Amino acid sequence: MPLSLSRIILFVAACFIISCGNNSDSKPTSAADTTQPTAPVQDTITNQPPSFSCQVLPEDSMGIPHSILYLQSGGKKITIDTIYSCGEIAPAEYAEKKIPADALMALGGWWAGSGDYFYLVVRNGKPVVYAGWQDEQQTDEGYHWEEKKLKE
């Protein structure tokens, strides 16, 4: 008998706790109403990490390829640059190109003796884009990385 009484008490207590948290007069909560912290790389508007995208354009009159590189962040699509080649760089290649391991993504490519490259990191909760280049005529080695100023 005490075992059955214990189960009944637990059942009633559970029902009471559940009913206290289920207020039908309150409005439904959304993801924005929660108090759980989000990951620092999440976009606060779309809840997606910032990312790059490319729009491949037709070749120009001299047969030169062009692509427009965009940063998608904060519900916005920001034009970063027009480049020749817009291929994604695999994380396994980051060290070789001096791209930090914490980069969200990197892309670019080589065309006609030179290459333009970009990588995306998050610093202090904001996307930061780095642009780099390499040329077959350069006298030094490696990639020349600089932070790219973003026009919003």
- 38-62 tens-digit pLDDT: 344 555 555 688 999 999 999 999 9
Quick check: is 42 in a domain? no
- Are both 75 and 20 inside the same structural domain? no
Range of the domain at 23: 2-33
- Are both 29 and 56 inside the same structural domain? no
Quick check: is 45 in a domain? no
- Are both 137 and 70 inside the same structural domain? yes
Quick check: is 41 in a domain? no
Quick check: is 15 in a domain? yes
- Are both 62 and 132 inside the same structural domain? yes
112 contacts 125 by C-beta, under 8 angstroms:
no
Is the dihedral angle over the CA atoms 90, 96, 99, 101 positive or is it negative?
Answer: positive
- 54-90 tens-digit pLDDT: 999 999 999 999 999 999 998 899 999 999 999 999 9
Quick check: is 7 in a domain? yes
CA distance 147 to 129: 6
Give the percent of the chain with pLDDT over 70.
68
Does the pTM surpass 0.75? The reply is: no
- Are both 18 and 72 inside the same structural domain? no
151 dihedral zone (left: phi>0; alpha: psi -120 to 50; beta): beta
- Are both 70 and 133 inside the same structural domain? yes
